[in-house]
Amino acid sequence: MRILVVEDEPRIAKDISDGLTAAGYVAEVARDGEDAWFRGETENYDAIVLDLGLPRLDGLSVLKRLRAAAVTTPVLILTARDGWREKVEGIDAGADDYLTKPFRIEELLARLRAITRRAAGHASSLVSVGPLEIDTRAQSVSVDGKAVALSALEYRLLSYLVLHRGRAVSQTELLDHIHSGDSDRDTNAVEALVARLRRKLGAPVIETRRGYGYCIAADGP
Rounded average pLDDT over 97-118: 93
Specify the DSSP class assigned to residue 169.
B
Domains contained in the chain, CATH given: 2-119 (3.40.50.2300), 126-216 (1.10.10.10)
**Most confidently modeled range among 13-17, 204-208, 210-214:** 13-17
Angle, helices 187-201/171-178, rounded to nearest 10 degrees: 80
Rounded average pLDDT over 101-124: 88
Rounded average pLDDT over 193-218: 90
Determine phi and psi for 170, rounding to 5 degrees: -70, 160
Rounded average pLDDT over 170-181: 81
In terms of Cα–Cα distance, which of 20, 17, 81, 31 is closest to 59?
A: 31
7-64 per-position pLDDT tens digit: 999 999 999 999 999 988 999 999 999 999 999 999 999 999 999 999 999 999 999 9
69-98 per-position pLDDT tens digit: 999 999 999 988 677 788 899 999 999 999
Count of residues making up the chain = 221
What b/e readout covers 121-132, taking b as 16+ CB neighbours within 10 angstroms? ebeeeebebebb
Give the contacts of 125 (CB within 8 A, at least 6 positions apart): 113, 117, 135, 136, 137, 138
Give the contacts of 15 (CB within 8 A, at least 6 positions apart): 105
The per-residue pLDDT for 185 is 61
The per-residue pLDDT for 96 is 95
The per-residue pLDDT for 208 is 92
146-173 per-position pLDDT tens digit: 999 999 889 989 999 998 888 899 998 8
Contact assessment for residue 93 and residue 71, using Cβ atoms and an 8 Å cutoff: no
Rounded average pLDDT over 119-123: 77
Determine if the pTM surpasses 0.75. yes
For 41, half-sphere exposure in the C-beta direction (CA atoms, 13 angstrom radius) is: 15
